[in-house]
Amino acid sequence: MKAVYIDQHGGPEALTHGERPEPEVAPGEVMLRVGGSALNHLDLSLRAGTGYRGGLPRILGCDIAGEVVNISPEAPGDLKVGDRVLLDNRTKCGACPSCLQGLDQYCANQKRLGVDLDGGHAEYVTAPAINAHRIPDSMSFTEAAALPIAAHTAWHCLVTQGQIRPWDDVLIQAAGSGVGSMGIQIAKMFGARVITTAGSDWKLEKARALGADEVINYRETPDISRRVKELTDGRGVDLVFDVVGADVWEENLLSLKPGGRLVITGVTSGARASMDLSILQGRPLQLMGSGGRSRRTFADMMKMVNQGSLHGIVDRVFPLAGVAEAHRVMESREFFGKLVIES
C-alpha cells in the first residue's frame, strides 16, 4: 500500500512516499481505510530524531479517521464494516497496576499510533477496536482527523486538570495551535470568558470567530500579563492553558489571580524556565502538567463531538504525496488549527 514513512531521521526530505506492506488485523483489532490523518508538532521531532524512541521504519500520522474495512472476530464492541470512525491513538494494556486501578492514563505499557506503532499516513491502518469511536455521518474524515489529540488534550487540560467553571476568566495561549483553537471551543462550551493570544491579527480574527472574548497580539503587546490584568479589572485570570512553554512562563504566572490554576501541555518554545518562588508562595497557585489522558475522558470528549458541539478545525488538506510540504508549513507556524493529510 502507499504510505509516508521514515527509515532515517532528518529534514522533510527524510519522509519517503512509497510502498509499505498492508497491515494485518490482530485479535481484538480493526482495520481502517484511512480517510484523513492530521499532523502534530510531535511529527517534527519524530522525523528529526529528537526524543524519538521507536523503531524504524515507521509510518507517521498520529491523528487518524477512516472507514472500518475489516474486524477481528475477537474484537469487543459493536463496530461493523462500513462504520466511520476516528482513533484514540494511545493503546493501553488493561492489565498493569494503573489500568487495574482505573487509571489507564498512567498505563505502564501504552503505545501510540504514529509513534511506537505505524500511523495513518497510509491507505490502511490497524488499531485495537476499543480505540475506534464513531463520528457523525455529516463529518468529513479530514475534519474528524483534526480532532483526536488536539480535542482530547484540550479537554483533559481544561476540564479534568483545570476544573474549568462558567465564571472563570481563562487565558489560552497560542490561539492558532491545534490545542489552543480546540481550547477556545471547549472553554466557551463551559461558559467561561476566554482571553487568547497569537502573533498575527489574522489568527486573532479566527479566534474571535471561534468565540474568544478578548484577543492579544503578543508581537504588539509582549507584556501579556499587564494586558490580562487590564481586561480583568486588575484581578488576573482564574485559569491559564499553555502549549508554548518557556517563552511565556513568567507571563503566565503573572497573569494568574491569587489561587489561580495553570495547566501546561507543551513546551514548543523551550522547556527550561526560571521561577520566582515568592510568586508561588504569596499567591497560592496550582501549577499542573497535562500528562497521560484516559479512555473515559476521550469518551466524554467524543460525546460532545457526536452531539455537534465540538468541531475539527482544518487549515489545509494535503495529498499523501504532500506530507513533506505539510511539515514545512507546520514549521513556519503559518496556519490555524490542523494540517490534514488525505489518503
Tell the smallest beta-carbon distance from residue 292 to Zn ion (Å).
Answer: 10
Tell the smallest beta-carbon distance from residue 27 to Zn ion (Å).
Answer: 18
Q: Quick one: 104 or 168, whose CB is closer to Zn ion?
A: 104
Tell the smallest beta-carbon distance from residue 103 to Zn ion (Å).
Answer: 9
| Grid cell at residue 316 | 489545509
Tell the smallest beta-carbon distance from residue 101 to Zn ion (Å).
Answer: 10
- 313 near Zn ion, rule: CB under 5 A: no
Using CA atoms, how far apart are residues 132 and 30, in angstroms rounded to an integer?
8
Q: Residue 321 has what DSSP assignment? A: G
- 329 near Zn ion, rule: CB under 5 A: no
User: Candidates 15-23, 34-42, 97-105, 248-256 — which segment interacts with Zn ion by CB under 5 A?
Assistant: 97-105
Q: Quick one: 93 or 189, whose CB is closer to Zn ion?
A: 93
Q: Quick one: 103 or 275, whose CB is closer to Zn ion?
A: 103
Q: Quick one: 89 or 255, whose CB is closer to Zn ion?
A: 89
| Grid cell at residue 222 | 509582549
User: Candidates 3-11, 40-48, 102-110, 123-131 — which segment interacts with Zn ion by CB under 5 A?
Assistant: 102-110
- 1 near Zn ion, rule: CB under 5 A: no
How many residues in the chain? Answer: 343
Tell the smallest beta-carbon distance from residue 108 to Zn ion (Å).
Answer: 6
- 14 near Zn ion, rule: CB under 5 A: no
Of the candidates 240, 90, 92, 238, the one whose C-alpha atom is nearest the C-alpha of residue 157 is: 240
User: Candidates 70-78, 107-115, 145-153, 163-171 — which segment interacts with Zn ion by CB under 5 A?
Assistant: 107-115
Using CA atoms, how far apart are residues 301 and 182, in angstroms rounded to an integer?
11
Tell the smallest beta-carbon distance from residue 94 to Zn ion (Å).
Answer: 6
Single-letter amino acid, residue 282? G
Site for Zn ion in 35-94 (CB under 5 A): 93
- 96 near Zn ion, rule: CB under 5 A: yes
| Grid cell at residue 194 | 476566554
- 285 near Zn ion, rule: CB under 5 A: no
Tell the smallest beta-carbon distance from residue 33 to Zn ion (Å).
Answer: 29
Q: Quick one: 103 or 321, whose CB is closer to Zn ion?
A: 103
| Grid cell at residue 34 | 484511512
Classify each residue of 251-266 as buried b or exposed e, where b means 16 or more C-beta atoms within 10 Å of its C-beta.
bbbbbbbeebbbbbbb
- 130 near Zn ion, rule: CB under 5 A: no
Q: How many residues bind Zn ion (CB under 5 A)?
A: 4
Question: Which conformational region is residue 79 in: left (phi greater than 0), alpha (psi within -120 to 50 degrees), or beta?
Answer: beta
Q: From the list 99, 172, 285, 302, which residue makes contact with Zn ion (rule: CB under 5 A)? A: 99
Tell the smallest beta-carbon distance from residue 102 to Zn ion (Å).
Answer: 11
Question: Which conformational region is residue 283 in: left (phi greater than 0), alpha (psi within -120 to 50 degrees), or beta?
Answer: beta
Beta carbons of 118 and 125 less than 8 angstroms apart? yes
- 107 near Zn ion, rule: CB under 5 A: yes
- Residue spans of beta strands (DSSP E) within the chain: 2-6, 15-19, 29-38, 58-59, 63-71, 84-87, 90-91, 111-112, 124-128, 132-134, 169-172, 193-198, 214-217, 237-242, 256-264, 286-289, 314-319, 338-342
Q: Which residues bind Zn ion (CB under 5 A)?
A: 93, 96, 99, 107
